[in-house]
Structure 1
């Protein structure tokens, strides 16, 4: 069931990334955030209830709430036109928690691939904190592209692989680590303005400015 939820995390990240890039209007992205947010709250609840006290299963399911609460927060914020500061600072909490879940996957679960994936998510939610909580609009395009890429490489593709094959290949952890460093480094060079005073693109201003459009 967790893999099913992860598949749709890919869908909402993809839409939210396009929102940051100015291709999807904020309120139009709200329904998918609410749908997936509700799924990512229901899914871990069912998993935890069915775990019968198994600490490993409960630990694995507990991290899903971080996504569920983020997407519900985003969807409600878009519809109510709330300022993005709240979801931005919540993203800092998620980013710190994601580092902990990465450690747990490396050391307790012995799952290096998801250890790396949780580091991806820590990086992404850290960007959401800087963009939405600290209002650093100059990274809006970079964050949008990172979100789109992560929608596929950390969610949709791993979820489909787990659903069809049952496990990620042994080399995936190293491949993901190398891919992240190379691709995100290149995106940073290509999309972040060199001068701190440079104004963001108009689309980025619309996405993160007066409308308070959170993109996590």
Structure 2
């Protein structure tokens, strides 16, 4: 994944997490989602064009579309107030694809850290499926914490380290990301109430951007 694109995936995931916690309105988060969504559609298209038919390079670029379509959809829903069930079911397909990309990263690319990161993305998009397709609105604040945390752990921080040349794909890095990811999953529910905006904390059935 392009490190620059990954950096902005981290930003938009963090903002969307804050939105689910009730601190940003869906309309207020829409422009960033549209900007990053467009970037994540343009970037893989360019990478595939210049890949010259190389299957490995095409595979690395293909997963970016899932992010691009997600953020464009979130942005359009935020502006129009359209129902989110379609995006929820799309999130289930992203979940399945992310598991596949994780296996590919582990076995073919031999990038163990991003194999773990893809699994963490699979978990996050599955929670989006629960929220929007199955209407589990009581999970909204916890999913907000998870999204904001994964924005930093799986995207923002790794992208910054890659861009600056400080990233090292070692066994230690893989273990650290895996442990922090499990810790984030463990604390997202306990942290959801103190981190939520008062209106969301008092009305757990309210999901910003989910109509």
- Is 1:168 the counterpart of 2:168 in the alignment? yes
Q: What is the TM-score with the length of structure 2 in the denominator?
A: 0.91
Check the 8 A contact 1:141/1:204 in 2, yes or no.
Answer: no
Task: Name the residue aligned to 2:38.
Answer: 38
1:65-76 paired onto structure 2 within 5 Å: 65-76=65-76
Give, in angstroms, the shift of residue 206 of structure 1: 4.8
Counterparts of 1:53-64 in structure 2, within 5 Å, are 53-64=53-64
CA-based RMSD of the aligned residues comes to: 1.8
Q: How many residues of Structure 1 are paired with residues of Structure 2 in the alignment?
A: 204
Match of 1:5 in 2: 5
Note the residue ranges of structure 1 that are not aligned, 5 or more in a row: 193-198
Inter-partner Cα distance in structure 1 for 2:17 and 2:26? 11
> Conserved in 2, the CA contact under 8 Å of 1:39 and 1:68?
yes
1:187 deviation in Å?
2.2
What is the CA–CA distance in structure 1 between the aligned matches of 2:207 and 2:141, rounded to whole Å? Answer: 12
Partner Cα distance (2:182, 2:154) in 1: 14
User: Does structure 2 conserve the Cα–Cα contact (< 8 Å) formed by 1:20 and 1:204?
Assistant: no
Q: Distance in 2 between matches of 1:133 and 1:200?
A: 22
Structure 2 residue 184 is the aligned partner of structure 1 residue 183? yes
Q: Quick check: 1:97 aligned with 2:92?
A: no
Residues in 2 aligned to 1:155 and 1:206: alpha-carbon distance in whole angstroms: 24
Residue-by-residue CA offset, 1:16-65 (whole Å, 9 max, x unaligned): 00000000011011000000000000000000000111111100000000
Q: Is the 2:6–2:155 Cα contact (8 Å) retained in structure 1? A: yes
1:25 maps to 2:13: no
Provide the C-alpha distance between the structure 1 equivalents of 2:160 and 2:98, rounded to a whole number of angstroms.
Answer: 22
SS where residue 134 of structure 1 aligns?
A: coil
2:122 aligned with 1:156, yes or no? Answer: no
